[in-house]
Amino acid sequence: MEQIPVKRFPFSPFPIGWYWVEFSENLKRGQLRSKTWMGQQTVYWRDEQGRVCLANAICPHLGANLSPEFGGKIKDGQLVCPFHGFKYNTQGQCMHSLQGKVKHPITLTTYPVRETGGVIFAFWHPEGEEPQWSIPDLDEGNWSIFLHTSREIRTHPQETSENGVDLTHLPYVHGYSNVESLGPLHIDVHHLQNRFRLTRLIGPSKRFCLRLNVQATVSMLGVGFSMIESTMETAGLHIRQLALSTPIDGEKVNFVMAIQMQDIERPNVLMPGLGLFPKRVLNAILLKIFFKVYLKDISQDWDIWENKEYLTSPRLDPSETSILHFRRYCEQFYAPLE
């Protein structure tokens, strides 16, 4: 008897919102790239003026695949179809065919794009509606470039984001101590913020380690964008991490982990003698160390995410009500079921 597949989550695998597409450094002018994004086969490129377009990889003329693997290319900043030579600009408009200027409007399906802080995002809505909110400006402030990596994980972006409000798992899974909430979740329509403090030890043992007393703020804008800002005031240390969860095909997400920091102000507070290092060298070393720590910590969640079952009525402790508030916040990002 054939087994009927069980739907893993009681909501759409493609919530409304902003999702990661690429890091700016990986998309040069004249380069055409492709990927499966939000269940769609897409292409993306940067034109001669630096504008980025993300579009469905199907030519609306006769359905040719526009991906570079199948002959799509960029010429003079425009996407050229391999079938009839139709040319599309970054607004998705067909500008030319082999017969000359097109006589009736032909447009690609494109998505609103925002590029900030060296990261490219695009907005997804199942009905193609325009975004009602945006990604924060990541260009502001004296931040380093992002160090980043990614991994495909069998889960849902709501599950990865839920970790940002689940403080009770932090000591057990990640080994943090003195975890303390700094107040209830702050929710302002599409923006959710969670503030807490913790102690994190970095080093080979409790005797030989750095002890970081950190205050953290998690900011979410939808379920695909989480930003964690960590501050150690005594050392003047400011770190920003991105946890970007983008659905691929309804089963897996592309989970991007990125980190950047500002110049540390009082390095000797971390360890006597650190201030003797040239500032540029010291900051580069610290960024690599904190990135390694971040990857180690977040990797402890991967197997849990891939194998856990989503419970619509979890048996929560009274101290875990933030999870329920988070789930109610998430409801706005799903189109009504037909």
- What average pLDDT score do residues 194-218 get? 87
Do 65 and 165 fall into the same domain?
no
Nearest CA-CA partner of 199 in 185, 187, 216, 182? 216
24 located within any domain: yes
Identify whether residues 119 and 193 lie together within a single domain.
no
Domain for residue 132, yes or no? no
Q: Does the structure show a pLDDT above 90 at 206?
A: no
Residue 4 lies in a domain: no
5 part of a folded domain = no
Domain co-membership, 170 together with 225: yes
- Average pLDDT over every residue of 106-128: 97
The pLDDT, as a whole number, for residue 271 is: 87
Strands lying side by side in the sheet with 119-124? 17-23, 119-124, 113-116
Percent of the chain at pLDDT exceeding 70: 96
**What six digits make up the tokens of 153?**
């994980």
CATH of the domain at 231: 3.90.380.10
Give a yes or no: residue 111 inside a domain.
yes
Which position has the higher pLDDT, 152 or 280?
A: 152
Residues 276 and 184 in one domain: yes
Digit-coded pLDDT (tens) for 81-116: 999 999 999 999 999 877 777 777 899 999 999 999
Residues 288 and 202 grouped into a single domain? yes
- Residue 70 to residue 82: CA distance in whole angstroms: 8
The confidence band for 205, taking pLDDT boundaries of 50, 70 and 90, is low
What is the pTM (predicted TM-score) of this model? 0.94
| pLDDT at 152 (0 to 100) | 98
Specify if 205 maps to a domain: yes
> Looking at the structure, do residues 87 and 200 belong to the same domain, yes or no?
no
Residue 335 above 70 pLDDT? yes
Domain of 293, in residue numbers: 147-333
The Cβ of residue 291 has, within 10 Å, a number of other Cβ atoms equal to 21
CA distances from 136 to 64, 139, 227, 319 (A): 36, 9, 10, 30
Between CA 170 and CA 179, with CA 174 as vertex, the angle to 5 degrees is 35
Q: What is the dihedral of CA 173, 176, 180, 184, to 10 degrees?
A: -40
Q: What is the CATH number of the domain that holds 101?
A: 2.102.10.10
Decide which of 67, 93, 124 is a domain's last residue.
124
pLDDT digits (tens, 9 = 90+) for 290-304: 999 999 999 999 999
How many domains, in total, are found in the chain?
A: 2
Burial class of residue 195 (count of CB atoms within 10 Å of its CB; 0-12, 13-18, 19+): middle
Does one domain contain both 80 and 215?
Answer: no
8 within some domain: no
Is pLDDT at 286 greater than 70 in this prediction?
yes
CA 330, CA 16: separation in Å to the nearest integer?
Answer: 10
Mean predicted confidence (pLDDT) in 231-243: 96
Summarize the confidence of residues 198-215 as an average pLDDT: 82
Q: Do the domain assignments include residue 302?
A: yes
Q: Tell me 331's DSSP state.
A: G
Q: Report d(CA 224, CA 283) in Å as an integer.
A: 29
Identify the pLDDT of residue 338.
45
pLDDT at 315 over 90: yes
Same domain, 98 and 246: no
Q: 120 by DSSP, 3-state: which?
A: strand
Residue pair 145/118 in contact (Cβ under 8 Å)? The answer is yes
Mean pLDDT of the 45-50 span: 97
Is the pLDDT at 309 greater than 50? The verdict is yes
At residue 203, the pLDDT reads: 74
Domain final position from 92, 124, 156: 124
Same domain, 106 and 167: no
Which of 73, 89, 124 is a domain's end point? 124
Task: Record the tokens describing residue 15, joined without a space.
Answer: 């919530």
Residues 176-193: tens digit of each pLDDT = 999 999 999 999 999 999
The confidence score (pLDDT) of residue 1 equals 44
The verdict on 233 and 286 lying in the same domain is yes
Query: What's the whole-number average pLDDT of the chain?
Result: 94
